[in-house]
């Protein structure tokens, strides 16, 4: 069973995302925010789109002050986020990460 991050990465593929993507409820279109916009604007939109503002508050608090671009998304009715630079393309060699190859 794929976790939400795996599903998201599979959907993203090789596309580069030059903005924060806020995915709304099923009947609402996705809202795109340019990365240079103030985080308060993103936060306000997230509150308007989300069912549970306390969850969004936790996500917003987790962003911190490092100014790394964040990708927000809604999957299975739950708002998730990852850092945009962690959303890799499908063809990246995952097996090469984290361990040395066994050469016998």
Does some domain include residue 101? Answer: no
For 95, residues 6+ apart whose C-beta sits below 8 A from its C-beta are none
pLDDT tens-place values along the chain, 104 residues long:
455 545 555 555 544 433 444 444 444 344 433 333 444 455 445 544 444 444 444 444 444 445 555 666 555 555 556 665 565 544 444 444 444 545 55
Provide the residue range defining the domain that includes 42: 20-89
Does some domain include residue 55? Answer: yes
Give burial (CB, 10 Å; 0-12/13-18/19+) of 58.
Answer: exposed
Question: Among candidates 15, 2, 26, 3, which has minimal Cα distance to 80?
Answer: 3
Strand duo 19-22 + 31-34: pairing: antiparallel
Number of separate domains in the chain = 1
pLDDT the model gives residue 81: 60
pLDDT the model gives residue 36: 33
């Amino acid at each position: 069973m794929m976790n939400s991050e795996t599903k998201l990465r599979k959907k993203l593929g090789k596309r580069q995302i030059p903005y924060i993507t806020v995915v709304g409820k099923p009947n609402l279109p996705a809202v795109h925010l340019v990365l240079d916009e103030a985080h308060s604007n993103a936060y306000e939109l997230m509150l308007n789109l989300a069912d549970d503002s306390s969850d969004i508050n936790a996500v917003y608090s987790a962003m911190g002050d490092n100014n790394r671009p964040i990708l927000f998304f809604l999957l299975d009715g739950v708002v998730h986020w990852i850092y945009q630079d962690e959303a890799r393309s499908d063809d990246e060699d995952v097996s090469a990460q984290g361990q040395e190859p066994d050469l016998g």
